[in-house]
Amino acid sequence: MFSQMGAPRFALSLLACLTAAAQQVVVTGQYEPVPLGESDRSIRSLPVAGRTLLASSWLDFLALDPSLDLLQRAPGGAQSDLSIRGAAFGQTLVLLNGMRLNDAQSGHHNLDVPIPLEALSRIEVLHGAGSTLYGSDATGGVVNLITAPPESSEIRLRAAAGNDGVNQQHITWSEIAGGFDHELILSRDFSSGFLPDRDYRNLYAASISHWRSTDLVLGHADRAFGADQFYGNFNSWERTRTWFASLAQRFGANTEASFAYRRHTDLFVLYRDRPELYTNRHADESFEAALRRTEPLARNLRLHWGVEGIHESIASTNLGDHSRSRGSGYAALDARALGRFSLSLGAREEAYSSGAPQFSPTASGGIWLSPHLKLRASASRAFRLPSFTDLYYHDPATLGSPGLRPEQAWSYESGLDWNAGARLAGSVAVFERRERDVIDYIRNSPADIWRAANIQRLRMTGVEASARATLRRGQIVEASYTALAGAQAALGGLQSRYVFNYPSQAASVSWQGTLPGGFVARTRTGVTRRYARDPYALWDAAVAFMRWKLHPFLQLGNITGTRYEEIAGIPMPGRTAVLGLEYATHR
């Protein structure tokens, strides 16, 4: 077929196909930005800008991807865990503009994002290992939260109220002046709780500035919430605070230097009404610096390399005072030929102060079988360092282990992407992850305590498929499905705590688009069957009027009133409704 078409004709057909359906440029999991359709990895791009009135938090967008398992303990993102392709919550790396947000104390705080929803432009998700580019924790995948310069100078004021005492206020101020643009965003989200001791209060402040080749992000989040049953049969209370600052400087088209600082504090009270009985205070800090460079070697051949340094420390009443540092370097060769073939080979060496170096190679490639069909495959190695909680935590029910070894994993994937022009697209992929020295908590019986340990062998196998149709008025209908199966080495009768808390099947069907009269809307139905648990379905919807300066909106959650638990023993809310109004003025 290729000989009949000829290379020029094939290239033109392929270019038209990519232009129509892959306008989005992705940066996550790539050594340089590429159109989404040219990536050889499974990457999902979730637009956020222009859709903030249709979502209660940025976590709502993750629900569109059934390969992402969001384990929430409370609404509003008070404390949530995230799993990708059945990996544990500590095996998901969370980034903000490519800089790490993962918490050195505990993976339970990885989603303590320090900026509000309105600051985000899009969310990119890499399915599968990403340690070659990002280092530790990118075992199951990577979530990259991305900001962007404002499109206009404007002020937006937003207020909303709902059941369970929900009360929200948001302020966004954007200014564009010559080569400088700036956003200042403040938000407050309060609820008295759908159950006793399940109240929450979320405060956010963010400042985002762009000037020529310089990006500066400052963010702060303050979350206080009732934690009833979160860690056992206790009426607990918790408050976490996050400070974040990052600076990125581009030197020409091929070089970028970046720096980030993150501070996180965690105040935990076991009995809310008797805090003197058991209270923990933790404060951890991290510093990250990176230099990335691209060297064009030939027309279709590029060399990418970079170096990175990270320092983490913690001061804790329970864990003690500890610190660790690590440095790494990576290099990758990216080749493309005839508009049909692509190949990327990369490797990273990471050395840290408390153990042996970690070597993380990767290989990925793709071939266009036709202008509409692409076959791709990849193999990658990943690793994860134990958190300070894994190493040093202790209470009457849980004990850390200072001798834990880093987790190691190999991920394999093969996928087929189909693109029928501007309106229809689909993909299917099969994958496998083989892990050893998996960090989990084990015990002999329910009467024993949980102890952190390395599990020798774990294998996760799965398939994911999706189909997408773009209809009139920009309406988008999407259906996705993911199935997982896990196999673990025999534990000799021991029980494990986290490894098998994954969804064996998950599916999502969503619609979003513009309606006559200036309305925008979206709806989603998702079904989840967790390992050894009954399935449950959730349906949510939202609508907003966007024609004038006043934008009324309505958000509905769990419309069918499903009783469900994403984490066993922690019930989630029934039906919710939030009604609000946004005022927007352009200057």
Give the C-alpha separation, 234 to 79, whole Å.
16
Q: Which residues does residue 168 pair with via DSSP β-bridges, in sequence order?
A: 160, 189
Predicted confidence (pLDDT) at residue 322 exceeds the cutoff of 80:
yes
- pLDDT, position 7: 38
Structure confidence at residue 60 as a pLDDT band (50, 70, 90): very high
Report pLDDT digits (tens) over 398-418: 999 999 999 999 999 999 999
Q: How much is the pLDDT for 24?
A: 78
The whole-model pTM stands at 0.93
- Burial group, residue 299, by CB count within 10 angstroms (0-12, 13-18, 19+): exposed
Domain-wise residue ranges, the chain: 2-586
Secondary structure (DSSP) of 523-556: EEEEEEEETTS--EEEEEEEEEE-SSSEEEEEEE
Write down the CATH superfamily of domain 2-586: TonB-dependent receptor, beta-barrel domain (2.40.170.20)
Which token pair is 90? 């500590």
Read off the pLDDT of residues 459-488 as tens digits, 9 standing for 90 and up.
999 999 999 999 887 799 999 999 999 887
Closest CA to 456 of 408, 424, 422, 423: 408
User: Distance of alpha carbon 245 from its chain centroid, rounded?
Assistant: 19
Query: How far lies 126's CA from each of 25, 50, 305, 316, in Å?
Result: 14, 23, 20, 33
531 phi/psi in degrees, rounded to 5: -55, 125
Q: What's the half-sphere exposure (Cβ side, CA atoms, 13 Å) at 236?
A: 19
Q: How confident is the model over 71-91, as pLDDT tens digits?
A: 988 777 778 999 999 998 999
What is the DSSP code string of 164-209? TTEEEEEEEEEEEETTEEEEEEEEEEEE--SSTT--EEEEEEEEEE
Predicted pLDDT at 474? 78
pLDDT at 495: 83
Average pLDDT, the chain: 91
Give the Cα separation of 157 and 278 in Å (integer): 41
Q: From the centroid of its chain, how far is CA 167? A: 26
Number of neighbouring beta carbons within 10 Å of residue 335: 15
What separation in angstroms does the CA of 16 have from each of 9, 37, 368, 379, 560? Answer: 11, 12, 14, 30, 43
Tens digits of residue pLDDT in 9-26: 333 333 333 333 345 788
**Cα dist. 315→141, 174, 280, 401 in Å?**
29, 37, 11, 18
What is the Cα 99 distance to its own chain's centre? 12
- What residues form DSSP beta bridges with 369? none
Pairing of strands 450-455, 398-399: parallel
